[in-house]
Chain A
Amino acid sequence: EAGVAQSPRYKIIEKRQSVAFWCNPISGHATLYWYQQILGQGPKLLIQFQNNGVVDDSQLPKDRFSAERLKGVDSTLKIQPAKLEDSAVYLCASSLASRQDTQYFGPGTRLTVL
């Protein structure tokens, strides 16, 4: 069974530029999550999708962050414009809708904002 795929693995940009991350969840997983993991901290949930609908985006900085999951499969997370404090690893995870207690994580995208 293929795991959660993310790309790119690494990205370096300058502040005020825009960036996008892509996630392909495990086949059949209706629930998809984006987490932000700042160095030295645990992951923090940014947004949760159920199919193509948003379940929880209470911690997403909506003035600069956006996410979509148009067809209920792949998802894209965008930052525009980026700030220095956005430097972090962005993790995507997925789960079955009926087993949301078991989330499977991708390898993450490490973003460095200069």
Chain B
Amino acid sequence: AQSVTQLGSHVSVSEGALVLLRCNYSSSVPPYLFWYVQYPNQGLQLLLKYTSAATLVKGINGFEAEFKKSETSFHLTKPSAHMSDAAEYFCAVSFRTGGGNKLTFGTGTQLKVEL
């Protein structure tokens, strides 16, 4: 069975500070890993994904994540937080099945950006 664990349901940073959102995965086969962002009253938007190519993945809005197999981690980072980054972030894992990719989401991390 596959799963992801997001450490910290709430993270608060100052504007301009480093953003680090943690995600650890569990998968019996090589996983695909994703980060999604959800703004209030909106659906999920894909930030970035890892699908077994480069381990350092760059996404939209200046975010990036590094796949570390030895640590079973896929943490999301951004060098300098902006007020517009305030949202909920979800890590997700999937692997290909006979029926396609089934996403399993973490419980989410609410990011607050303060002046």
Contact = CB atoms under 8 A, between A and B. Distances in A.
Contacts, number: 61
A50 B102 CA distance: 13
Q: How many interface residues does chain B have, given as a range?
A: 20 to 34
Interface residues of A, number: 25
A64 interface: no
Nearest to A108: B43
Contacts of A41: 107-108
A91 B44 contact: yes
Main secondary structure of the interface of B (DSSP, over half): strand
A49 to B, nearest CB: 10
Interface in B43-96: 43-46, 49, 51, 90, 92, 94
Interface of B: 9, 32, 36, 41-46, 49, 51, 90, 92, 94, 97, 99-108
